[in-house]
Copies of this chain bind each other. A is one copy, B any other.
Amino acid sequence: MSHLEGRSDGSLIIIGGAEDRTDTCLILREFVRRAGGIKAHIVVIPAATSYQQEAGDDYTRLFKSFGAETVQAILTKEREDADKYEALEAIAQATGIFFTGGDQARVIQLIKGTLLDDAIHKRHRDGAVVAGTSAGAAIMPDVMIVEGESDTHPRLDAVEMGSGMGFLNGILVDQHFAQRGRLGRLLAALLIEPSVLGLGIDENTAVIVEGDELEVIGAGAVTVVDESNTTFNNMDRLLRDEPLAVFGVSLHILPHGYRFNLSSRQPTAKGDKLPAQGLPLQS
């Protein structure tokens, strides 16, 4: 299946933005824990933001406060910075790599296709945890919403698509999902990219992906939007500013502890041993 192409071996933590950084820090602690806990070597990549120093410092301070063994931020003011030896050396040692929020297009402009990009993918295949929040979440698949309009009905011109970083293909991520009313733009994006599965991730909420299994953690929910069994859409007759039509989209709302299998496309209730429809769990 197409979503398995290019699937990496390391686990991914995809965060819908505005994750708790002052209270229980559930999601960020889970990232450091999975990266090795007090033995973790964390690299922060704040390429998405134009305040790289500040964002790098903030997350560095936080991850150090959890006790990670080393934490450093790689600043990429220009694309050339992403080919430098120091950056590649840091990634080669990393057990956890964290992409901050900002503008997802900046990550692509500054990093995609560089030696740093290659090094992160290699390290991820070797088992390092890769995490990203907000813009850093949007970039995870090979296709992404570059920018778009919130709180709108689905329209082609509500969303601009582009290439992502390709850590997990076959999905499409939209972040700040409930908080910004992004159902319309995610539906539009999925009609433009019909073979993929949509994950609308709320703020302070994340999915942890290991192999084909996805688990939700955090305060909100993940809205899984599956258009694979739709019976009709009007894409063949549509001009860009006209409203989209689609029949039979399947939606799953998954809060903390709930799981979803990307291969069978089946959700699993919290604590259940079997998926809702009784299929054997693929682990």
Q: Which residues of B contact A180 (CB under 8 A)?
A: 151, 181
State in angstroms the CA–CA spacing of A247 and B259 once bound together.
11
> Do A251 and B253 have beta carbons less than 8 Å apart?
no
Asked whether, in the complex, the Cβ of B251 is within 8 Å of the Cβ of A245, the reply is no
Partner of A178, one of B181, B221, B250: B181
Closest to A272 in B: B232
- CB pair A244 B267 closer than 8 Å: no
Give Cα A247 to B222, complex, Å. 12
Residues in B whose Cβ lies below 8 Å from that of A153: 178, 202, 205, 220-221, 223, 253, 255
Q: Contact between A232 and B181 (Cβ–Cβ < 8 Å)?
A: no
CB distance from A177 to the nearest CB of B (A): 8
Which residues on B sit within 8 Å (CB–CB) of A182? 181
Chain A positions near chain B (C-beta within 8 angstroms): 150-154, 178-184, 187, 202, 205, 219-221, 223, 231-232, 234, 242-256, 258, 267, 269-270, 276-277
A/B interface sample: 18 pairs, CB < 8 A = A150-B181, A151-B178, A152-B179, A153-B178, A153-B202, A153-B220, A178-B181, A178-B183, A181-B181, A181-B182, A187-B253, A234-B269, A246-B251, A246-B252, A248-B252, A249-B251, A249-B252, A250-B251
